[in-house]
Amino acid sequence: MYPPAVHYDRLSNDPESDHNDDSFTLKISEHRSRLRHYLRPNPLVRVLCILVLALLTWRIISNLTRRPPLKVFALDEEPRPSWLDDKTPDAPMRLRVAVISRASEFDTRAALRESVFEGVRQSEVELDFRFFVGAPTGLFSWWTISHLESEIEEHGDIEYLRDIDDVKERLSEKRFAALGWGGSVRRTDYDWFMTMDSDTFVRFGALSRRLGLLLKERDVNPQTQSVLVGRMAAHRLFWENRIPDGSTDDPWEEDLFLKGPWYDYPIGIGYMMSPFLVETLLSLDPPPPHHIHYPNDDVMIGGWIAALKHFPDTSIDFQTTPEHSPEPVHKVVPRPYLPHPIDTVVIDDKEGWHDYAGRKVGYDAPFSWSSVCLHHLHPKEMRMLRAMDAIKGEWAPGRNHD
């Protein structure tokens, strides 16, 4: 009868035989056993395998998310603009420049002297510049102080603010001290006061020509009008001066924060103020609020200028902020800086003032002919830009340059 009642064994050459499968499975089992036997007493090999696997995974992800190559320079993509080759102006731009610097930035200051300030053609720009540094703090402050004093003696271009700790939280006090230095001469003795960060590369000759072009379009006079030049962002914080200078109270206390209408402020690249604006701010009593912690030190500048316009207007609603006041949010009527409002001409030069490509998304751009103030550069990059054939002729030859 079928099927047979007795089980039969398959022959070795039977096509349905699973002899080969059993042999293959046995070999895999033996290899696994050997691999486990090898890895068990060798943790180093196990770690290396994990690292290799992680590296391969990272390479795969990197290839999938890789961005196109970053474009750093754009000089070859556009012709040299005519305003760069206009005839030398009848009179040079008289510029007072304050560089906000950390005490320990020895190489940065050296790079700025060599690559930015040295060789500026006096037929285009008459420069008077100072570095503003605070009092070093920390375990090795004695070393910084010793080298800083030697640098001061050698160069004579450093304003040493011994009453202000050299920490970023107190940058606003450095900015106010720089403003005081900028306005320490008669306003008719200079054309502009400029504050710049220590990681900003400036082509002063190109800046003077570009600024002349921008002013001509707007028909403004910096001697008789309030003017601010730079790269702008927007904010709505205001402050009232509540902390007297030289106060024996907590040095970390801040002025009163308020929230009001939106306004333009110059981001950290730098900014230029007209002599009229500098003189106006320094004439205020009490002085404009400047006990404001980083990162609001540049917002503070825009806050001053906006307050000149808005504080006299009692119809504007100013309030305290819940982040900075222990009391519930309430309306505040700020004391006007002056009895009358002062409106400021704000020149937002996005093409001329920007960050180095890739350094700050949204504010960065490739280096072009219009790039007169470039932010977030390392000292070696400043030296590299100064040596570029395309622009090195903007400076006169000096001891550090052919």
Residues 6+ apart with CB under 8 A from 160: 133, 135, 148, 152
- pLDDT, position 8: 43
The predicted model gives 27-43 an average pLDDT of 61
Stronger pLDDT, 15 or 122, i.e. the higher one: 122
Q: How crowded is the C-beta side of 284, counted as CA atoms within 13 Å?
A: 27
Alpha-carbon Rg for the chain in angstroms: 33
Per-residue model confidence as pLDDT tens digits over 338-348: 999 999 999 99
**CA–CA dist 307, 311 (Å, integer):** 5
Q: 401 pLDDT exceeds 70? A: no
Residues 6+ apart with CB under 8 A from 33: none
Inter-axis angle of helices 297-310 and 275-282, nearest 10? 90
Q: 20 pLDDT exceeds 70? A: no
Here the tokens at position 272 are 């230029």
- pLDDT, position 43: 67
- pLDDT, position 137: 94
Output the CA torsion sign for 88, 89, 90, 96.
negative
Per-residue model confidence as pLDDT tens digits over 107-166: 999 999 999 999 999 999 999 999 999 999 999 999 999 999 999 999 999 999 999 999
- pLDDT, position 18: 47
Cis amide leading into 3 (omega within 30):
yes
33 pLDDT band, cuts 50/70/90, is: low
Output the CA torsion sign for 202, 205, 208, 213.
negative
H helix or E strand, kind and range, residue 273: strand 256-273
**CA–CA dist 277, 341 (Å, integer):** 13
- pLDDT, position 40: 58
Residue 246's region, left for phi above 0, alpha for psi from -120 to 50, else beta, is: left
Q: 250 pLDDT exceeds 70? A: no
Here the tokens at position 370 are 């219009």
**CA–CA dist 162, 160 (Å, integer):** 6
**CA–CA dist 362, 267 (Å, integer):** 12
Contact between 236 and 185 under an 8 Å Cβ cutoff? The reply is no
Q: 175 pLDDT exceeds 90? A: yes
H helix or E strand, kind and range, residue 82: none
Q: Which residues pair with 192 in a beta bridge?
A: 95
252 pLDDT band, cuts 50/70/90, is: confident
Contact between 174 and 161 under an 8 Å Cβ cutoff? The reply is yes
**CA–CA dist 26, 23 (Å, integer):** 5
Stronger pLDDT, 217 or 193, i.e. the higher one: 193
The predicted model gives 168-194 an average pLDDT of 97
Count of residues in the chain: 402
Exposure b/e, 79-104, CB count within 10 A at least 16 = b: eeeeeeeeeeeeebbbbbbbbbbbbb
Contact between 262 and 235 under an 8 Å Cβ cutoff? The reply is yes
Percent pLDDT > 90 in the chain is 69
**CA–CA dist 293, 305 (Å, integer):** 18
Residues 6+ apart with CB under 8 A from 53: none
- pLDDT, position 87: 78
